[in-house]
Chain A
């Protein structure tokens, strides 16, 4: 028999070693990608269009496409997720309809991305005639994003103490005003974490985009701000290869002599951008939260 003190020691040791293994794997992967990739990142690499056959191509358009797609996806999915999250957390009665909705959301979030991609291809690209376009890609990604964001917003709202709801209602505020003015601001940090997580997934997604946003990055004019113009960088109807798709493509069918270094550099850029987005979102979230709550 071991006593309480010993078993505590053993348990602590086991937990520490598991955490150690996880951290080791993370550091190894990230470190490898960054160490191998960063030497290939240069100003030219970031500002030149990709080359199909010659060496020396950059990732300018792919990088922009990834960011644009992320923004579009969030614009489409966030309002829906916010609405359904508020409904599930604040209004839904605990009955079979609600639990069916919850189950459906969970199933949706675990759909294989290839399936979502092919579904998007058939429905949006072919049936709705959107063609290979950023818009079709953004809608397909919304399918991933919605369940994650919805559950996240629901949980963030639900974790705000009921005391806060009582406080708002007891002061004669309507349910809606209590939610929007008291509960939502208090849930903001959690919601921002959810956006960051889902953004990471959107940014790294390739399979669903191959069939929807397409694999080509036509040359666009970064000075044309008219989203209706076919050569405008803001045109949501143009095909758009993203960074993750580019990495996949360069690796599978790349014929440029420097395909390996492009893929290494692009991977490093991908990770750095996600990291930057993460930091930026947290910083912005903190600012907004402070503004709304006066916690200094």
Chain B
């Protein structure tokens, strides 16, 4: 594999309103240094895509943003959300995850009914009012473009849904929490093209209200839906810019090689 310099980077600094940002984020799995000095700014109500080859650290980075990596790795550096560094011991991670929610690569609905999949976490967080719950179920399923398909089957098991439906249910489940930021870790990689298109449509609908950060292997997907794109390589962020610039006029050789398929 061609050696690319980690010193040469092109990281966009934003002047618009930010949802969150990281400063010099480092991740260690034991002695293994997996993420180096990642400093990225995520604009509010925009979709940012994280791209890069397998093992480039993009999923690791994403999972740090709502502290889901705490159990398995050491994370150093700052993660700034609402003017607070949330990467501190004193921070209540459960509260953080209410604001910064995550959808995973493989659909993981609970073994509960479709309705309960959405209301379960809400009830756990103290929302008991039946009307509010019913309203959240409908609105979140609508914004995940799933309502019309399941509105008559809300009490059926979520395990009976197809992969694409289950993934949209997982998005709805996160949306129902009304978070600020939605993190998606390759949400469409296990799905067929039609389901993928629906997920993308869903994300376009959601960006009016939410800030979305999505890890994807699929570069067409990134170019279709993302406003900004970051390119990861071997634990380093080499380039971060408007999606348009990344795909038409990349400044860094590694990015250019990756998007043109001359990589590795």
Residues of chain A having any CB pair with chain B under 8 Å: 161, 163-164, 166-174, 177, 181-182, 185-186, 292-296
10 further interface pairs, Cβ-Cβ under 8 Å (given A172-B101, A185-B111, A292-B112):
A163-B104, A163-B106, A166-B104, A170-B97, A170-B102, A173-B94, A181-B120, A294-B156, A295-B111, A296-B157
A239 to chain B, nearest CB (A): 45
CB neighbours (8 Å) of B66 from chain A are 170
Residue pair B98, A293 in contact (C-beta under 8 Å): no
Q: Does B152 contact A (CB under 8 A)?
A: no
CB neighbours (8 Å) of A294 from chain B are 112-113, 116, 155-158
Q: Does B177 contact A (CB under 8 A)?
A: yes
CB neighbours (8 Å) of B159 from chain A are 293, 295
Question: In the assembly, what is the distance between CA of A173 and CA of B92, in Å?
Answer: 11
With known contacts A177-B124, A294-B157, A172–B94 Cβ distance under 8 A = yes
CB neighbours (8 Å) of B174 from chain A are 170-171
Residue pair B101, A181 in contact (C-beta under 8 Å): no
Question: In the assembly, what is the distance between CA of A296 and CA of B113, in Å?
Answer: 10
Within 8 A of A (CB), among B67-108: 68, 94-98, 101-104, 106, 108
Q: Does B226 contact A (CB under 8 A)?
A: no
Chief secondary structure at chain B's binding surface = mixed
Other-chain residue from A166, A174, A186 in contact with B68 (beta carbon distance below 8 A) = A166
Q: Does B252 contact A (CB under 8 A)?
A: no
Q: Does B136 contact A (CB under 8 A)?
A: no
Q: How large is the interface on B (under 10, 10 to 19, 20 to 34, 35 or more residues)?
A: 20 to 34
**A-B pairs with beta carbons under 8 Å apart, 29 shown:** A161-B108, A166-B102, A166-B104, A167-B110, A167-B170, A169-B68, A170-B66, A170-B101, A170-B103, A170-B174, A171-B97, A171-B120, A172-B95, A172-B96, A172-B101, A172-B177, A173-B94, A181-B124, A186-B111, A292-B111, A293-B110, A293-B112, A294-B112, A294-B113, A294-B116, A294-B156, A294-B157, A294-B158, A296-B157
Q: Which residue of B lies closest to A177 (CB)?
A: B124
CB neighbours (8 Å) of B151 from chain A are none
Question: In the assembly, what is the distance between CA of A181 and CA of B110, in Å?
Answer: 10
CB neighbours (8 Å) of B224 from chain A are none
A118 to chain B, nearest CB (A): 45
With known contacts A181-B120, A296-B156, A172–B110 Cβ distance under 8 A = no
Other-chain residue from A170, A173, A177 in contact with B104 (beta carbon distance below 8 A) = A170
Residue pair A167, B94 in contact (C-beta under 8 Å): no
CB neighbours (8 Å) of B158 from chain A are 294
Which of A166, A177, A182 neighbours the largest number of chain B CB atoms within 10 Å of its CB? Answer: A166
The list of the 9 closest CB pairs from A to B, nearest first, reads A294-B113, A163-B108, A171-B121, A170-B102, A172-B98, A293-B111, A172-B97, A295-B157, A167-B108
Q: Does B125 contact A (CB under 8 A)?
A: yes
Question: In the assembly, what is the distance between CA of A169 and CA of B174, in Å?
Answer: 11
Q: Which residue of B lies closest to A290 (CB)?
A: B157
B1 to chain A, nearest CB (A): 31
Question: In the assembly, what is the distance between CA of A181 and CA of B170, in Å?
Answer: 17
Q: Which residue of B lies closest to A163 (CB)?
A: B108
A285 to chain B, nearest CB (A): 14
CB neighbours (8 Å) of A168 from chain B are 121
A290 to chain B, nearest CB (A): 9
CB neighbours (8 Å) of B155 from chain A are 294
Question: In the assembly, what is the distance between CA of A292 and CA of B97, in Å?
Answer: 25
CB neighbours (8 Å) of A185 from chain B are 111
CB neighbours (8 Å) of A181 from chain B are 120, 124
Q: Does B233 contact A (CB under 8 A)?
A: no
With known contacts A166-B68, A166-B104, A170-B174, A182–B125 Cβ distance under 8 A = no
Q: Which residue of B lies closest to A293 (CB)?
A: B111
Q: Does B168 contact A (CB under 8 A)?
A: no
Q: Does B236 contact A (CB under 8 A)?
A: no
Q: Does B58 contact A (CB under 8 A)?
A: no
CB neighbours (8 Å) of B120 from chain A are 171, 181
Residue pair A172, B125 in contact (C-beta under 8 Å): yes
Q: Does B173 contact A (CB under 8 A)?
A: yes
Within 8 A of A (CB), among B203-224: none
